[in-house]
Structure 1
Amino acid sequence: MKRSSAIRRAVLAAAAVALVVTGCTDRTGGSGGGSGGGGGTPQSPASASATGGSASDGKPSSPAPSSSSAAPSSPSSPSSPSSSAEVLMKDGDENEQVRELQARLRQLDLFDRAPTGFYGSITGKSVAAFQKRRGLPVTSTVDAATWELLLSLTKEPTADELKPSTTNKLDTPDPRCTTGRVLCISKESRTLAWMIDGKVVSSFDVRFGSENTPTREGEFKVEWKAREWTSTIYHTPMPYSMFFSRGQAVHYSADFAARGYAGASHGCVNVRDRAKLAALFDQVKPGDKVVVHW
């Protein structure tokens, strides 16, 4: 009996040891390991965040072991940017502060056209040039540091500087514009210069067709003129039309006069100064050269 009892005790002890080993395998083995319970590796705040949760999202069935040895938590990212890095003006903004920005950049010869109040790619390039010149981080956006330095280097713009009545600054003429009688049209500066033998006689703000209806580039001639004309396609007035390329013309646009560069043409070169264009219309002759370039 004693021998049988001893054998039973030995068998029970061995079975108990086998159960413990099996239990440990279930909790720590496999590709995923534990899920927050005892025996598994506790999920760190960083890994919890990477899976879409936070360190406090889960509800483990029991406390993680060796909590006293766990690494202390630390901020996952630096604190929010300082006020000096806050973006004040950026691409797509349209307001009077942007107009002032452009006027001040123009005082430093970094913005070569009339202020529009719209922050586009040209304004971004001008800001980047200012930042590079002054040793600031080149971001093409205006933060407090950029704005404060610009204010210190320029004077408050006058009303004429903010909303000048004159045209955009002309580009250097395309070489094709330097001889003869030419309507020299620049897409870069959005200007038309009426030139005779290399001299600018008059100049105008202009706008062009949209991406879907672009104004063609190249060298053309004035084919014919019409003091009063209505588009046969779009049924809109086109006063003082000077046609140069298969229906595309230089002409006055009431929409351009009212909305500025918020709109676009269907391919024509729009002019917004009706009185000046009327005078130009009387000077230009069929056969005069037209150059549309960047």
Structure 2
Amino acid sequence: MGTVLGLTGLVVPLTVALGASPAQAASCTTSAGPYQKQVEKFLGRPVDGRQSAADCKAIQTFQKTHGITPSAGYAGPLTWRTMDTMLQQRAAGKTPNKAGLCPTNKGRIACVDLTRQLSWIQDGAKLTYGPVPVRTGRDGSETRTGAKKIYHRNIKHWSTLYKVWMPYAQFFDGGQAFHSVNKSMWNPPGSAGCVNMRDADAKAYWKLLRNGDDVHVWGRKPGT
């Protein structure tokens, strides 16, 4: 399969404050956040550092799209952290392994960069699929780093622990798996340890990978 770039959805932003917001979730704050200018630039708004009604609505749309609460339209740390991750994902382009952090001497391998919340499949140095955005383990339930191998696959796995379906599940480390979810890849705070994927990407991984294939995980998810 040819290289597929899965980051077209990155034009939609994500935003909300960490900690106390100056407004309730249902209202639109008139206060400028500490990352107002950065958020305005990301959203294509006039960059003046002042909160306008239009700014707030644009930020709120971003927050609601990605399930960020409260959706007060405040340009806080979580909003900007998420946007910054998106910018790093965009910058990866067609060379996500430019820094050489995923091994190129293993043949087919699934690479997971926690820092940029990106994954891709490569065969040697050749990019086979991706890079695509992923949603990894939240603080306290981090996706474990290191060299792994896929050891179990189930196209329609039921989690007895979390009581949820895990479609296209491919397990690589003690219950942690690639699988699809019906939510934004930028929805905080993250997964319970699995590498969440969009449905189309999880299907592609299912077709491309097999039991025994290598998985390499490194970095640190922002906010953990």
Question: TM-score scaled by structure 1?
Answer: 0.45
Would you say 1:182 and 2:109 are equivalent positions? yes
Distance 1:168 1:224 in 2: 33
Of the three residues 109, 124, 127, the one matched with 1:197 is 124
Percent identical residues:
24
Would you say 1:119 and 2:80 are equivalent positions? yes
Measure how far apart 1:200 and its partner are: 1.0
In the other structure, the counterpart of 2:193 is 267
Measure how far apart 1:231 and its partner are: 1.1
Q: Choose between structure 1 and 2: higher strand proportion.
A: 2
C-alpha distance 246-174 of structure 1, shift in aligned 2 (>3 A):
farther
Measure how far apart 1:276 and its partner are: 3.0
Aligned pairs for 1:38-57 (under 5 A) are none
Distance 2:32 2:114 in 1: 29
In the other structure, the counterpart of 1:212 is 140
In the other structure, the counterpart of 2:43 is 100
In the other structure, the counterpart of 2:212 is 287
Distance 2:197 2:163 in 1: 18
Residues 85-115 of structure 1 show CA distances to partners (whole Å, capped at 9, x for unaligned) of xx95525x6996253369x9xxxxxxxxxxx
Distance 1:284 1:173 in 2: 23
Larger of the two Rg values belongs to structure: 1
Residues 191-227 of structure 1 show CA distances to partners (whole Å, capped at 9, x for unaligned) of 1010111111111110111111111000000001111
In the other structure, the counterpart of 1:226 is 154
In the other structure, the counterpart of 1:3 is none
Decide whether the 8 Å contact of 2:178 with 2:202 is kept in 1.
no
Q: Relative contact order (C-alpha < 8 Å, sep 6+): which is higher?
A: 2
Q: Please, which runs of 5 or more residues in structure 1 have no aligned partner?
A: 1-86, 105-115, 127-161
Distance 2:81 2:44 in 1: 12
Give the secondary structure class of the aligned counterpart of 1:239: strand
Give the paired residue count: 153
Measure how far apart 1:232 and its partner are: 1.4
Distance 1:241 1:168 in 2: 28
In the other structure, the counterpart of 1:22 is none
Q: Choose between structure 1 and 2: higher helix proportion.
A: 1
Question: TM-score scaled by structure 2?
Answer: 0.58
In the other structure, the counterpart of 1:130 is none
Decide whether the 8 Å contact of 1:177 with 1:195 is kept in 2.
no
In the other structure, the counterpart of 2:24 is none
Decide whether the 8 Å contact of 2:104 with 2:124 is kept in 1.
yes
Give the secondary structure class of the aligned counterpart of 1:227: strand
Distance 2:108 2:99 in 1: 13
Q: Please, which runs of 5 or more residues in structure 2 have no aligned partner?
A: 1-30, 48-61, 64-78, 220-224
Distance 1:192 1:234 in 2: 24
Distance 2:195 2:116 in 1: 13
